[in-house]
Structure 1
Amino acid sequence: MVKIKQIDIDECIDGNVIAEDVRMEGINIPIVIRNSIINDYIKSKLINYNIKSIQVIQDINALETDNYKQQMRFVKEYKDLVLQVKLMFNNAVNGKSIIEDDLVKLTNRVLSNSEVVSKVIEVIDIMRNHDEYTYTHSINVALYAMFIGKWMNLNEEEIKILIHAGILHDIGKIKIPLTILNKPDILTEKEFARIKEHSNDGYNFCKASTWLHSEVKEAVLSHHEREDGSGYPRGLKKEQISVYSKIIAIADVYDALTSERVYKPRQTPFDTFKHMIREGYQKYDIGILNTFLDYISFYYVGSKVRLSDNRVGEIIFIHPHNIIYPTIKVDDEYFEVNNCNQIKIVEFVQ
């Protein structure tokens, strides 16, 4: 059992581990997340944000054991979730309908991890496998969509609809040849047109399951629609697109960009933040996008990263209003990754 103590900021010393997310009064987004290690830089930021006291962990050994057990538990759980999706999709290939009880059980297992956001994101990052992409992507989108729903204060039934939709959003791809899905070169116009048919194919497959919520079917059909009408298959705009479809769209794009495929390298989360912010005002619901980016960015604090100058550092702070430029600590040096110093994050390291 991890022991926790409340202390004044003035009492903080280097090496203290924060026990709970630290939030500014009136703002629900954390400025420093749990398990962050206190140093002079973080302490000064907390003082600047007028934080008077924080909870710290007293038994670091117990924390490390607890973190390791939690990570290993979810690694095992994640592998099994992916396997269950694979079995479901393989059954679909063989002409079998989705079994309601199977999807409900899978959804409840995903939902049971809604409180361990940092561990889930960490495991998603280390378990990416482009050979099993369709299945891992389906679980990842379900997890990200669940978190977005939670951060938007949706109720449990609404979040379950999101998880259903995340799991099934790409089920239409079972009809597309792997030679197209995994083609390392640029797709021909005909091949891309075939890819785009997966939304309709998935919707038509889900229609047979009369018990499946209509919003799930709609999200399967519409997760590639965009706010400006540039999406497919119907070219819907703004309020014509359901909230569930908008959430799945953001979760889908984020996971796709941060995943390695045979035809592209993976982007870092921060490059993906830039991409989504750049396209955001045209393509995505701004309110949902901002909620997602505001929250998820802070869960990368504490991550180890390799920089473009080949040094390895740790992300120690992300400013709430400037999430694309984190503060990095390398040895005793602190600096912000930005365009001025021309240092970039190349990859995350374990």
Structure 2
Amino acid sequence: MRQIRISNCEPGMILGKAIFNDNLILLEAGALLTNSYIERLKDLGITEVYIDDDISGGVVIPDVVKEETRREAIRFIKESMENYTSMQLLNSAEAIEIVNKILEEILSSDDVIINLMDIKTRDSYTYFHCVNVCILSVITGIKLNLNTAHLRELGVGALLHDIGKLMIPAEILLKKAALSTNEYEIVKEHSIYGYNILRKLPLISEASARVALEHHERIDGKGYPNGLKGDQIHLFSKIVAITDIFDALTSNRIYRDKISANQALEYMTVIAAPTLDTRVLNCFIEIIPPFPVGSGVVLNNGEKGVVIGINKNFPTRPVVRIVFNSDGSKKELFEEINLAEKVGYTIINNTELIKQS
């Protein structure tokens, strides 16, 4: 299984992963793509899908959280944001129950290396984003040796970190053009709205609520809403600040295309690093492979292939199935190489393998 842009899909390709919209299955895994299916997915704002083909045959993309658990969490966030009123508070007990499931599945996993596999529709970014940030934050917390109670608090805060956006007008949140200065100031208010919403809820701790308030604070004091610095910012908020940035960068937005995991990590470790907590960032980097399983890569000799395995101790040197020669011709027999054992080979770029036999 591998990911491919919808613009490069062709009739006859086999869907590798089911596609959901509003928690309903649009297409099951194994479905044969047709022109009408492809056009419908484009209309929904879906920009990538997973396919099964000869290039990715036998490639399994692991996930630390079950698909049904993700869908349950997405449903909860969607319904909470759509149905919220001052007279009908969020169901904090359900939020904790969902985080407990996520936490249990992550802790029972043999490997906490992340492969985010969600396929977002145009209007579902916020819901998927909240769930991804929760998962990424909990795994980062595990790397930081947080105890189970703290992981639960962190997970709840991360899951609900953007809940204040329900108070922001949709025409601003979904605006395709750049926000005006005034509109940006309105969006920034979501952190205060979120904190005020969460502090009213039973069972939600102050630490969890602070995540909503502080996830846009930066250790250099240039964040918002209060310009906090360094240790004035709660550890949970420092974690979510990092996972929030990463998932946003690696997701397609209304106003820009996503970038690869490798590019996002480079941005975070070079450009954004002075604004982020170093210890947390280093732990986060350990759980994110720059070249995830199923991604296409170009080697320094010009050959192209698909990543089929991750070396935990050498994340920049995965196992690659070589599919195309340097001249662009397809290999008759694919070659699998472990870059951790082949010092002469390096990955120089991401690519998309669009040819099929």
Q: TM-score, normalised by structure 2?
A: 0.68
* 3-state SS, counterpart of residue 313 of structure 1: strand
- Pair 1:116 & 2:109 matched: yes
Q: Which residue of structure 1 aligns with residue 78 of structure 2?
A: 86
Q: Map residues 108-257 of structure 1 onto 2, 5 A cutoff.
A: 108-114=100-106, 115-116=108-109, 121-122=114-115, 124-257=116-249
For 1:336, which of 343, 346, 349 is the aligned residue? 346
* 3-state SS, counterpart of residue 90 of structure 2: coil
For 2:266, which of 270, 274, 277 is the aligned residue? 274
Deviations 1:39-70 (A, max 9, x none): xxxxxxxxxxxxxxxxxxxxxxxxx79x69x8
* 3-state SS, counterpart of residue 207 of structure 2: helix
Distance 2:310 2:135 in 1: 24
For 1:107, which of 99, 102, 127 is the aligned residue? 99
Question: By how many angstroms is 1:329 displaced?
Answer: 4.5
Distance 1:97 1:81 in 2: 17
Decide whether aligned partners of structure 1 residues 168 and 113 sit closer, same or farther in structure 2, where only a CA change above 3 A counts: same
Q: Greater shift after overlay, 104-113 or 250-259? A: 104-113
Question: By how many angstroms is 1:221 displaced?
Answer: 0.3
Question: By how many angstroms is 1:72 displaced?
Answer: 12
Distance 2:306 2:149 in 1: 41
Decide whether aligned partners of structure 1 residues 319 and 102 sit closer, same or farther in structure 2, where only a CA change above 3 A counts: closer
Question: By how many angstroms is 1:77 displaced?
Answer: 2.6
- Pair 1:314 & 2:324 matched: no
- Pair 1:345 & 2:350 matched: yes
Distance 1:270 1:295 in 2: 13
| 1:314 partner amino acid | V
Distance 1:120 1:74 in 2: 15
| Residues 93 and 174 in structure 1, CA contact (< 8 A), matched pair in contact too | no
| 2:188 partner amino acid | K
What is the aligned-residue identity percentage?
27
Distance 1:117 1:346 in 2: 29
- Pair 1:303 & 2:294 matched: yes
| 2:164 partner amino acid | G
Question: By how many angstroms is 1:98 displaced?
Answer: 2.0
Distance 1:274 1:210 in 2: 40
| Residues 298 and 347 in structure 2, CA contact (< 8 A), matched pair in contact too | no
Decide whether aligned partners of structure 1 residues 181 and 325 sit closer, same or farther in structure 2, where only a CA change above 3 A counts: farther
Any stretches of 5+ residues in structure 2 without a counterpart? 1-57, 324-334, 340-344
Question: By how many angstroms is 1:117 displaced?
Answer: 7.5
Distance 2:120 2:320 in 1: 24
| 2:224 partner amino acid | Y
Any stretches of 5+ residues in structure 1 without a counterpart? 1-63, 339-343
Question: By how many angstroms is 1:131 displaced?
Answer: 1.8
* 3-state SS, counterpart of residue 306 of structure 2: strand
| 1:345 partner amino acid | N
Deviations 1:208-243 (A, max 9, x none): 125320101111100000011110001111111110
Distance 2:68 2:353 in 1: 22
Q: Which residue of structure 2 aligns with residue 76 of structure 1?
A: 68
Decide whether aligned partners of structure 1 residues 325 and 131 sit closer, same or farther in structure 2, where only a CA change above 3 A counts: farther
| 1:116 partner amino acid | S
| 1:273 partner amino acid | L
Distance 1:291 1:120 in 2: 11
Decide whether aligned partners of structure 1 residues 204 and 186 sit closer, same or farther in structure 2, where only a CA change above 3 A counts: same
Distance 1:264 1:154 in 2: 35
Question: By how many angstroms is 1:271 displaced?
Answer: 0.4
Q: How many residues align?
A: 276
Question: By how many angstroms is 1:125 displaced?
Answer: 2.3
| Residues 302 and 314 in structure 1, CA contact (< 8 A), matched pair in contact too | yes
